Amino acid sequence: MITAGIDIGSITAKAALVENGKILGTKVTFTGYNAEAAGRKVYEDVLADSGLEASAVGKIVSTGYGRNSVKFADRTFTEIMAHAAGANFLKPEVRTIIDIGGQDSKAIALDERGKVKNFVMNDKCAAGTGRFLEVMARALEVDLDEFGAMSLQSGTPSKISSLCTVFAESEVISLIARGEQRFDIIAGIHESIAARISSMIARVGLTEPVMITGGVARNAGVVAALEGKLGVKIAVLPSAQVNGAIGAAILASSL
């Protein structure tokens, strides 16, 4: 049976098609202001890319913040379950997932069967998330996609101490005014994210292997900062951003 997973995040909408343990296709688009339309669009796109008709799909599971706006889904799961299912499918030995999305970040502990044992989500605050990075990229006039590579050039990351995105932004602006190097500032931003995530990891307990999912996984600087802080290797799969959608498709296959 072909199943579909649709993950509506605060910034991007993701879709995945799975059949008999094989990924047929994945797609990422922007969510925009209409989550329902974004869900339909990303689903149509992934079908078109894979050359499939909607009638070929047996079951659909939606997840993410906009999970309830996907009216054509058979069932919803939270992204916590979806990321666990995705990780368990792609890399069954994983015991800790770090998921950093647009507006929230999570640490998920898995048990020996790959089931969710415990999870911690960020508080009502966007620091340590993709949105935080977007704001900083704008302040620094750097394309967010270059953040990772640039920060890796830094030998002395700047110190960002504020916990609030808005205050951290003004902190960054004053660092710019003080003439600090851009790559040092970016590295400092990544360090501050890593510090926040590490305390969440401490609450669920760190067990290797560790995997990172969500859009921010594409940022090599954040991954490096996290590895430094936690003292472990973190697996980054090419499918990190669509892991939740893949997991949702896997969950759909056992409906």
CA distance 136 to 138: 5
Structure tokens at 215: 């859009």
In order, the DSSP letters of 114-172 are S-EEEEEE--S--TTSHHHHHHHHHHHT--GGGHHHHHTT-SSPPP---SSHHHHHHHH
Where in 62-91 is the site for other proteins (CB under 8 A)? 65, 76-81
Which residue, 80 or 242, has its beta carbon nearer to other proteins?
A: 80
Shortest Å distance, C-beta 220 to other proteins: 28
Q: Is 161 in the site for other proteins (CB under 8 A)?
A: no
Near other proteins by CB under 8 A: residue from 156, 203, 233, 238: 203
Q: How far is CA 124 from CA 3, 105, 111, 171, in A?
A: 33, 11, 27, 21
From 34-42, 115-123, 182-190, 214-222, give the range in contact with other proteins by CB under 8 A.
115-123
Near other proteins by CB under 8 A: residue from 22, 71, 124, 178: 124
In order, the DSSP letters of 28-68 are EEE-TT-HHHHHHHHHHHHHHHHT--GGGEEEEEEESTTGG
Number of amino acids touching other proteins (CB under 8 A): 18
Which residue, 116 or 137, has its beta carbon nearer to other proteins?
A: 116
From 114-122, 137-145, 167-175, 216-224, give the range in contact with other proteins by CB under 8 A.
114-122
Residues that bind other proteins in the complex, under the rule CB under 8 A: 65, 76-81, 104, 115-121, 123-124, 203
